[in-house]
Every structure is written in C-alpha cells, then in structure tokens.
Amino acid sequence: MAGPVVNIVDRQDGRPLSLQQAKQHLHVTHNDDDTYIAELVAAAVEYVETLIGVALIQTDYQSWFPAWQDCFELPRWPAMADPVPTVQYYADDTLTTLAGAYEFVRHDKQPSQLVRLASVSLPTADTRAYPIVLNWRAGYAADAVPATLVHALKLLVRHWYDNREPSVIGTISTKLEYSLQSLLNLNRIDWARVG
C-alpha cells in the first residue's frame, strides 16, 4: 500500500536560528552576505527537519492517505494537540469531517498518532487515490527549540558558508559529521519503537 502524501499548509513566521545569530556564529559583521546566510539557514532547517523527522517551526500539515487505518502516524515531531488534529474523507466527491472517531496520542520523540476508537465504524470513502485527509500541526515555538538542534543548525551554516563548493580537496570532514550526527541523534524520532 502506498504511504501518505504530506504537504505543508502554513508555517509560523520566524526561524529557530535568526540571521543575526547565524552572523554572530560566523563572525560576519558586514551585510554583503545577508541573503546568502539567510538561504543557508533556511536550507539547514529543511535538512534537519527532513533528516530526523522534526518540525523546528510550528507548521500546519495536511497528510493524504490511500485508505482508512486503525492508526495514522504523524510523520513530524512534536505534534501538537492544539488545534486538535482533524480527520476528513471524500465521499461522493465531497470532503467531510469525521468527528469523534480517532484519539490523538502524543509520544515523546516518536511519531504521534491518531488511533481509531474501537467502537467506531468508519464510513466508505471514495475510490480516488488518496481519499483520507488529516490536518494537524507540529513544531516548536520559536523560543523552545532544543539548544542541541540550534547548535546543529549553526554547525551546518558554518560548514556550508566556509565550503561553498561541492567538494574540498585535501580535507577531512569527519569531525563535523560526528558533531552534527551526535547533536541530531539526540532529537531523532525513534521509528524503531513505533508499532
């Protein structure tokens, strides 16, 4: 069975690492590279979020599933209970909200879940490819991003700022890889514990 399609609907303004914080870490005092540094910060945020399954910025998501499931996993952490995630489905080409059928279960450093209540029978959905739609929010408030993740962003920005070409001859990047990996592993979703 195909997995879900996940789209970003809306993102809170701000970054877990501001331009000024990045410039301070880089020891850059001029404004000539501000656009480039801001692009590096955005790329670092996207890289970390994708690599470890975390939302660094509060983000509204929409996940599309091919069929009903007893348990829907929300693939970004930390998922938020406010607003309450909603389940919708297409029937007769009409999108309908299904209330009271699923319970939100939040897990620490694991994908949160919407678990079907045993007493609920699910309606028939359209035969389209992805008739089930989940609307949910995940992410940290700007001032609540773990320091380890902010530091990982700084390491990435520094590395990319100093190494603008795809390869550097005569150097070894093991220290950066180890430092970055150890910081990210502290906050990685534990997919092995899911099930």
pLDDT values of the chain reduced to their tens digit, one per residue, 195 residues:
567 888 999 988 778 999 999 999 999 999 999 999 999 999 999 899 988 888 999 999 999 999 999 999 888 888 888 888 999 999 999 999 999 899 998 766 677 889 999 999 999 999 899 999 999 999 988 788 999 999 999 999 998 898 877 666 666 555 556 566 766 776 666 655 444
Strand partners, 103: 115
Other Cβ atoms less than 10 A from the Cβ of 177: the count is 12
Token digits for 162?
């100093």
Residue 87: what residue type?
Answer: V
Domain ranges of the chain: 16-56+142-193, 59-138
pTM over the 0.85 mark? no
Residue 73: what residue type?
Answer: E
Residue 174: what residue type?
Answer: T
Question: Is residue 187 a contact partner of residue 146, using CB atoms and an 8 Å limit?
Answer: yes
CATH class of 16-56+142-193: mainly alpha
